[in-house]
Structure 1
Amino acid sequence: MQNIIYVSKTIFDWDYYPGGGTIISSDVWSRSYKIWEHSKGLVDRARTEFELADGITNLKRALNHRMKLIESCYNFRSLNPSWRNKGYLEILEGFGLVRPYLMKNLLTIRNDIEHNDAEPPSKERCNEFLDIVWYFLRSTDPIVQIIKNSNQHTLYDEEGNETHYGFGISITYESSTEFEISGWFYGDIVSDEPKDEYLTLQYKDMHTKKKWENTNFNYHHNKLDSDRWIRGNLIDLDNETKKIIISKILSVT
């Protein structure tokens, strides 16, 4: 394989902030709230167990709508073949997006109602589930209102001063997820040979500051001769590293 370089994983310890994303129409992400409102109305007006059961059923619809929307935006299941049959709440938990225990209780209760003709929980308990799903919707709003697909990382020194090193990383969320990276890296964390705890980067461009020595791009002039500007795709990433990268991108508001 040609054009391969290796970069230390420590670059993901650098400070980071949002890079960009794709805005999603409110008509798409607000649908879950409309279903939730319908469920709340059913619970509020309920006088019988059947009306409470309808409220729980529609509450599950709101939860499922949001989870399907997240998957359509980010294709998390494609990142790891073992996740294809894994519960979706557990996948989201792995990215630090949810704490799934209480919502799993809701799913269990709803399935028991539908498949075993079980009685729904009390009205008070139904209201608790309404609150739980509402908080789930609110906590996942930032990632469905904007599809977050990039971060900027900057290295600061021990005194908290910004250094000359930093990079951007962007993700294409498709069946074959791509991780593109570009920026300045100091020589000690770049290797021509594979090393433990190093990332494999197939570069499209790689330069030293000499490329810009006769230009007005002052940003590049203050680099060392051993520093490298690199643009390319991270390849052969293990699932844990993918999760770390995506979690950082999703966590920034």
Structure 2
Amino acid sequence: MWLSSEILRWYPRQETASIYDLESSKRAYDIWNHAEELLSIPAGEFHLVDAIGTLKRAMDHRLRLLDEIYNFKNLPITNKSKWLLERLGFLGAIRPFMLKSLLEVRNALEHRDATPPTQDMCLQYLDIVWYFLRSTDYLARVKTEAFVFYHGGNEQGYKMGVDINTNESWEIKINADIPKEMLSSEFVDGWMEVHLDEVTAWKNVTFRYPICNEFKGIEPDDLRIKGMIVGPDTIRRSIYEVYLSVF
């Protein structure tokens, strides 16, 4: 079955989330603070080398924490990078270019005994890592469990709920109330491929409570569906990007 990707243009909103220990996300800042101290006064060659190594440790700590929470290795995307930093960039969670530059500098210092960057350049790397930590603070402290695409932002109209379990290959489970025209049994270019467990005409939906009149704009022949989005990769990537940015 094929589902219109127009749904991905609807307004996304976080529905449920898990809150993580604040102390875990603060540790990277403790390491970063040490690098700031090393660079707070005129620094010699070895202080600059230590500062670069410390910044790399701060970045590594945050990356490991994010991987513990989200299991990025389980991403079911073909041709994904084996490097976590690039996977986060691939999903739009960070901008990795300057962070990769820091890694290249650190590796040159560690393995080739290269001359360290100037103190001014080290201060730029200090700022880059700080922005990296700030930009990933929310991901490190709040993990979205489910979110909803609302048509026109209206909670009582058409919508698609999304549940992503990162412990199970990042499966994209959905339940949605949609216009019947948005589902097709035949391939439609640009649409989402879905495996459906349930398809019910709205007129046949039963409710535990008498709330039908609260739903706006839904027609009797419209559909309630439940299942999983299985492709294509470009669509799944777009949904993962929303998952990592919704709040």
Structure 1 unmatched runs, 5+: none
Aligned to 1:238: 232
Is 2:165 aligned against 1:204? Answer: no
Aligned to 2:100: 104
In 2, the alpha carbon distance for the partners of 1:221 and 1:125 equals: 57
Contact 1:17-1:252 at 8 Å conserved across structures: yes
Alignment of 1:1-253 (within 5 A): 5-45=1-41, 47-79=43-75, 80-85=77-82, 87-156=83-152, 164-208=157-201, 209-212=203-206, 216-218=210-212, 219=214, 223-235=218-230, 237-253=231-247
Sequence identity (%): 31
Aligned residue type for 1:8: S
Match of 1:30, SS state, is: helix
Match of 1:77, SS state, is: helix
Q: 1:120 to 1:226 in 2, by over 3 A?
A: same
Aligned residue type for 1:69: L
Describe the superposition over 1:44-98 as per-residue Cα deviations: whole angstroms up to 9, x where unpaired.
256421122111101101111112222222233332243253x433322222222
Supply the RMSD in Å over aligned alpha carbons: 2.4
In 1, the alpha carbon distance for the partners of 2:199 and 2:226 equals: 6
Match of 1:44, SS state, is: coil
In 1, the alpha carbon distance for the partners of 2:208 and 2:156 equals: 23
Describe the superposition over 1:5-46 as per-residue Cα deviations: whole angstroms up to 9, x where unpaired.
432121111122222221111121111111111121222256
Give the length in aligned residue pairs. 244
Q: TM-score, normalised by structure 2?
A: 0.88
Q: TM-score, normalised by structure 1?
A: 0.86
In 2, the alpha carbon distance for the partners of 1:55 and 1:213 equals: 61
Contact 2:148-2:161 at 8 Å conserved across structures: yes
